[in-house]
Amino acid sequence: MTEEKERQDARSIQLPAPTAWPLLLALGLMLILAGIITHLAVAIAGVILFLASAIGWALQVVPHEHHESVPIATAPTMESRPMQRGVAHLRIGQGGHRVRVPAHIQPYSAGIKGGLAGSVAMAFVAMGYGFASQASIWYPINLFAAAIIPSLANASTIELREFSLAGLIAGTIVHLLTSMLVGLMYAVILPMFPKRAWLWAGVIAPLLWSAVIATTLGVLNPTLNARMDWRWFVASQLAFGLVCGYIVARAESIETMQTWPLAMRSGIESQDTMPERTDDT
C-alpha cells in the first residue's frame, strides 16, 4: 500500500483546494456597507453572510489546509525538425498558451430566449397574485406601470383593478426589456459557475435581486412599494430565475474567440476557409 501511494504521489501534485468563501465574504461585506445607507435588513443579511463565510473559510485552513491532487501532465518530447513553411498555431493547453476562463460561453440568443420565457413565467405568477388578492389580473400590471405613468401612481385600488391600455403597453414594454437584459446577464455570468449553475440562477440570484428591490423600491416606485405583497414578489422572481436559468444553462455553449487564430479574429479569414492545422504546420 505504501509503494502504491508513493507511485500515486509521483504522478500528481498537491495544490490548495478551490473555494468560493472569499467571494462570499466580500459579498457579505458589500451588503453590510450597502445596508448602512439603504435598509437595516440588508445589513443584517450581510452580517449573516459575512460570518458564515468567515467560518467556512476558516474551516478550510484550520487545523489543516485542504488540498486536492492534480495529475502531472507529461511534457511532450521536443524533436529537432527542419524548418518548414507555415505558422504553428497555439492551441488551448499547448505551447504555453494561456487561456482566459471561461473558454466557452453561452450564446447571447439563449439569454434573450431565457429572459422572454422567464418573463412569461413571472407574468403568470403576478397575474395569479392579482386574481387571488384583488380578483383582477390587471391589478399587478397597473401597479408595475405606475412607475412611469403618473395617473396610475395616484390611482385608487378600484381604479388599479380596471383595465388600462396605457398601463398594459407601458408595463409590457418595461417588463420585456428588463427580462431580456437580465437574461443576457445570465448568459454572461452562468458560464463562470460551472457547478450548480441552476442554484445560482434559480435561487440565489432571485433572492439577492429581491433584497435589492426591497431596499430601493420606496424611491423608485412608492405606489408599488406601499401595496407590494413580498411573498408573491419573491415567488415571481424565483419563477423567472428557474425558467431563465434552465434555458440558458441547457443551451449549447460556444467557444470564445481567444481560441481562434489571429487571422480569424481580425476577419481576414473565416473559420470555413481556414486550412486544417496539424502539429507540423
Q: What is the CATH number of the domain that holds 65?
A: 1.10.287
Share of the chain above pLDDT 70, in %: 75
The answer to whether 52 and 20 have CB atoms below 8 angstroms apart is no
Mean pLDDT value across the chain? 78
- What is the model's pTM? 0.57
Distances (CA, A) of 145 to 61, 85, 150, 193, 208: 51, 66, 9, 34, 23
Domain-embedded: residue 6: no
Domain end position, chosen among 53, 71, 89: 71
Same domain, 123 and 51: no
The answer to whether 103 and 256 have CB atoms below 8 angstroms apart is yes
Share of the chain above pLDDT 90, in %: 15
Higher pLDDT, 78 or 95: 78
Indicate the angle between helix axes 165-189 and 108-134, nearest 10 degrees: 140
Same domain, 60 and 138: no
**pLDDT band at 95, cuts 50/70/90?**
very low
- What pLDDT, in 10s, does the model give residues 123-148? 999 999 988 888 889 988 888 888 78
Domain-embedded: residue 80: no
Same domain, 156 and 200: yes
Mean pLDDT computed over 191-196: 71
Domain-embedded: residue 77: no
- What pLDDT, in 10s, does the model give residues 32-73? 988 888 888 888 999 999 999 999 888 887 777 777 777 776
> Residue 198 pLDDT > 60, yes or no?
yes
pLDDT score of 18: 80
Domain-embedded: residue 213: yes
Domain-embedded: residue 262: no
Same domain, 41 and 131: no
